[in-house]
């Protein structure tokens, strides 16, 4: 084994579909293993902001995205190898079903030789669970390390489920929860909104029963970390970027912040919900996505923040308003109850919440510096007379995706960019005068 190879017990936790309890099980497993003296790092497959918040709360460490297309094979390998060099256990929560998507969770597992652990909701099944396990194992196939059975109703139910599973270890069981992690239209709610969130996580850790002998029998994964981290040109050297961060604007990848810092930027944070103005030393502003539609009254009344945004715009300060950020820099935002609230007014037009998804999926944006990759997920629409400067392209079918608007130094879009997919294009947003 080379000195650059890192070994840890790594598993990808997946299932047959969304709603099987993958996040609940992953959170409970992480906290339980930590209690037993192991060090644990958690990753989330695919684009997601909310599940990682719960998983970060459960594990006590930042949760990064892994996606072979958006993040890229090499960066996924670097992230995994770094984690494997620092901890005993790496848990990767999959997305949707094991074979759903392109690339799928199974593709990610195969790319790095990571064994799969299947979470199965047994609430309405008994012995048939075994047939589902067999199908998941053989379809790919994948290296199936074991099963975690969720929502066990009783000891007799557990016995029937156990009888149905053949030649695959049952790594853990978790009973039906009396207090589940609540959800809303974009997914799970943010941890700070859940009363006694740590008590809920501790209760789940108490209740998950792990077969440690079966767990210890999972072979460790050896990752070659010989790929040197690429050096990022210092295109944002000397720049201070002010980032909105509070309950309304919480959808930010840790990797995006690291990308900005790697390019030389200094980051500072402020809260529009607390009516904090853009910090005086800012050279650029980033208003990320989140749940502004839940805080319309507070944001509409936040005059210090709104005035500072208008001054920054008038002074041609670079501003990136991304998804939720774009919703609040329009003239108005109409909430789910149909009430219209005046907003900052940097973008002519109005945003209206819808009853169903208005945009979803992986997308890319062609720029003069290369392809910037990311995704969209939103329940609102923007009506504006402003013509888009460009459009993203949907990865699934090549169709036109989200509009990207440019007004002076303002960039506004529903598109969530993964910055390190093209650091030069990212730098140009925040420092347009810089040439890559």
Residues annotated as catalytic (active site), given as ranges: 323
275-301 burial: b if 16+ Cβ within 10 Å, else e: bbbbeeebbbbbbbbbbbbbbbebbbe
Cα→Cα distances 70→97, 103, 252, 323, Å: 18, 10, 15, 18
H helices within 320-436, ranges in order?
324-329, 423-430
Q: What's the CA angle centered on 22, arms 16 and 26, to 5 degrees? A: 145
CB 326 within 8 A of CB 382: yes
CA-based nearest residue to 419, from 288, 269, 290, 259: 259
CB 351 within 8 A of CB 327: yes
193: Cα separation from own chain's centroid: 18
CB neighbourhood size of 92 (10 A): 26
Structure tokens at 179: 């207090």
* Rounded CA separation 355/100 (Å): 25
To 10 degrees, what angle do helices 50-59 and 197-207 make? Answer: 70
* Rounded CA separation 111/108 (Å): 5
Structure tokens at 352: 């209206």
353, β-bridge pairs: 380
CA-based nearest residue to 369, from 287, 313, 431: 431
Q: Which residue has the tokens 């303002």?
A: 410
CA-based nearest residue to 87, from 59, 108, 56: 59
Cis peptide, bond prior to residue 103, ω within 30 of zero? yes
* Rounded CA separation 99/136 (Å): 9
CB 364 within 8 A of CB 373: yes
CA-based nearest residue to 329, from 376, 283, 279, 386: 386
CB 186 within 8 A of CB 50: yes
């Amino acid at each position: 084994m080379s000195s650059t190879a890192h070994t840890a017990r790594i598993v990808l936790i997946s299932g047959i579909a969304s709603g099987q309890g993958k996040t609940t099980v992953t959170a409970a497993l992480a906290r339980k293993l930590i209690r037993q003296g192991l060090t644990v790092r958690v990753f989330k497959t695919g684009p997601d902001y909310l599940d990682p918040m719960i998983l970060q709360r459960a594990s006590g460490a930042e949760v990064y995205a892994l996606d072979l297309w958006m993040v890229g094979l090499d960066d996924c390998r670097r992230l995994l190898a770094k984690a494997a060099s620092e901890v005993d256990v790496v848990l990767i929560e999959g997305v949707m079903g094991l074979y759903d998507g392109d690339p799928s969770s199974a593709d990610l597992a195969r790319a790095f030789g990571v064994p799969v652990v299947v979470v199965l909701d047994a609430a309405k099944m008994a012995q048939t669970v075994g047939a589902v396990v067999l199908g998941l194992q053989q379809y790919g196939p994948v290296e199936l390390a074991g099963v975690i059975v969720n929502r066990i109703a009783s000891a007799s139910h557990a016995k029937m489920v156990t009888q149905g599973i053949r030649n695959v270890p049952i790594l853990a069981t978790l009973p039906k929860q009396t207090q589940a992690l609540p959800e809303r239209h974009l997914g799970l709610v943010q941890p700070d909104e859940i009363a006694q969130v740590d008590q809920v996580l501790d209760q789940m850790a108490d209740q998950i029963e792990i077969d440690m002998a079966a767990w210890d029998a999972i072979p460790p994964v050896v990752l070659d970390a010989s790929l040197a981290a690429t050096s990022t040109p210092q295109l944002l050297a000397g720049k201070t970027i002010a980032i909105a961060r509070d309950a309304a604007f919480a959808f930010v990848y840790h990797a995006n912040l690291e990308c900005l810092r790697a390019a030389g930027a200094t980051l500072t944070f402020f809260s529009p919900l607390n009516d904090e103005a853009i910090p005086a030393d800012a050279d650029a502003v980033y208003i990320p996505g989140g749940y502004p539609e839940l805080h319309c009254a507070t944001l509409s009344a936040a005059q210090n923040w709104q005035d500072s945004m208008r001054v920054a715009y008038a002074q041609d300060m670079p501003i990136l308003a991304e998804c939720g950020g774009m919703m609040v820099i329009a003239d108005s935002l109409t909430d789910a109850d149909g009430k219209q609230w005046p907003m900052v007014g940097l973008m002519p037009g109005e945003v209206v919440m819808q009853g169903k998804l208005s945009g979803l999926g992986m997308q890319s944006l062609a720029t003069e510096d290369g392809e910037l990759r990311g995704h969209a997920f939103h329940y609102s629409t923007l009506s504006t007379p402003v013509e888009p400067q460009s459009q993203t392209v949907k990865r699934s079918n090549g169709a036109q995706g989200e509009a990207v608007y440019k007004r002076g130094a303002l960039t506004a879009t529903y598109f969530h960019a993964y910055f390190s997919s093209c650091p030069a294009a990212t730098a140009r947003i925040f420092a347009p005068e810089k040439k890559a």
